[in-house]
Structure 1
């Protein structure tokens, strides 16, 4: 009996971590490295290739690190993204360490504010996945219907069905066994 309580406590803590880990916002460095916000060195080495292989969720933060003396980040409409129009950005960032909160699902479009850089490929579009309730009461990512290139949703965690009332059931079991 003496070993059961510590084991059940450990199990409870692990399930509590699993049930809350999926909704934790992440800080994502654009391009995966400092200095990735630049004109690509090859046409097949664009930030869009990186974005297609990265899952973005509502609540995440994107971070750009760049030389603010020579570049900036502009959030733009799809039309301005396609034409590299820097005249009317939705938002403009010039601080060299830009953080953007992804607060809604759907597509986001960013281009360089440096003259000519967007036309040379310094731009990125990404799709943010929304959260939707799954059958077991947890929240699972849902692909936005806007882009067919969004990454596939992650498979459900097999332990997901054990998240009974956010761990209250396991807490009651641990307390009950401790009192027995």
Structure 2
């Protein structure tokens, strides 16, 4: 009886450890900082800032919204759809969150609506509507690259085209701080041929003009390379080099509504034969090369083996989880032996 009870305890321990490992992987949802770097404020350009931010997010049950704002200047409360549309939280039974950062855990699928109750803040665009799904969409499996592709060197970085929303949640507007916000936005990004810029703004309040560097520096918009007026404006980057954009509305450029970026091209040139993986390296001897008839490398001469390609960076997390699992199961196995 004692032996049987001991095995029951040990099996129960094994099940508990397996459950603990599973919980450690799936316990935490995604944290969404509302508005990104913009935070929770009265946004320039109206509600398009937060609707654009939300359109680029995927909200799942268990995720957390974080509202960052200045205490005493803003607040946040969940409201119904009619209250959201009318910017009236008088009848809302939900608690108004007045201390920043205000965290809100998404507890069920469906639509959620949030506003600031300070006077006119909601009507000026400080409002957020999101849609929550029950589970995350299944990720599309990405096949591992073949060894020949992984080992082949490249003259320039290559990747799939990326779509950038200019200014992120702030959109394309006259922003506080002049041109600095757009300079900071572009500073940490790599723009390549094939990428797309998306300019979001309220129709008939702004436009997007590509101009020369001289016109950009002087804010002279009398002559433009191109001009787009209907939002959202999508510009595909087709040529490498410096590109300059501004708004032609009076005073907007001088107030900082201007963007300068540098675009790099992608390399599609073939790998030179001398750099082909596994090729025999040239001799380092100073003796002149022999005639063509004797240029063949003698049979049996060992060639320098190519180093194996490094493991993909994405495998680091899998290795960490595997190591933890092996360590814990080893402890359990030792327990089962005694």
User: Which range, TM-score by smaller chain?
Assistant: 0.5 to 0.7
**CA separation in 1, counterparts of 2:47 and 2:114?**
18
- Higher alpha-carbon deviation: 23-32 or 71-80: 23-32
SS in 1 for 2:134: strand
Which of the residues 113, 120, 124 maps onto 1:116?
Answer: 120
Cα deviation digits, residues 19-42 of structure 1 (max 9, x gap):
x85764122111112x52111111
Change beyond 3 A, Cα 1:78–1:126: same
Change beyond 3 A, Cα 1:154–1:47: farther
Does structure 1 residue 127 correspond to structure 2 residue 147?
A: no
Contact 1:39 1:120 in 2 (8 A): yes
Which of the residues 104, 123, 126 maps onto 1:100?
Answer: 104
Q: Which runs of 5+ in 2 are unaligned?
A: 1-20, 144-321, 331-338
Contact 2:47 2:127 in 1 (8 A): no
Offset, 1:129: 1.0
- Aligned residue number for residue 71 of structure 1: 74
Q: Which has the higher contact order (CA 8 A, sep 6+)?
A: 1
TM-score by length of 1: 0.60
Q: CA RMSD in A?
A: 3.0
- Aligned residue number for residue 56 of structure 1: 59
- Aligned residue number for residue 42 of structure 1: 45
**CA separation in 1, counterparts of 2:78 and 2:109?**
15
**CA separation in 1, counterparts of 2:76 and 2:129?**
12
- Aligned residue number for residue 35 of structure 2: 31
Q: What is the number of equivalent residue pairs in this alignment?
A: 127
**CA separation in 2, counterparts of 1:68 and 1:128?**
28
Structure of greater Rg:
2
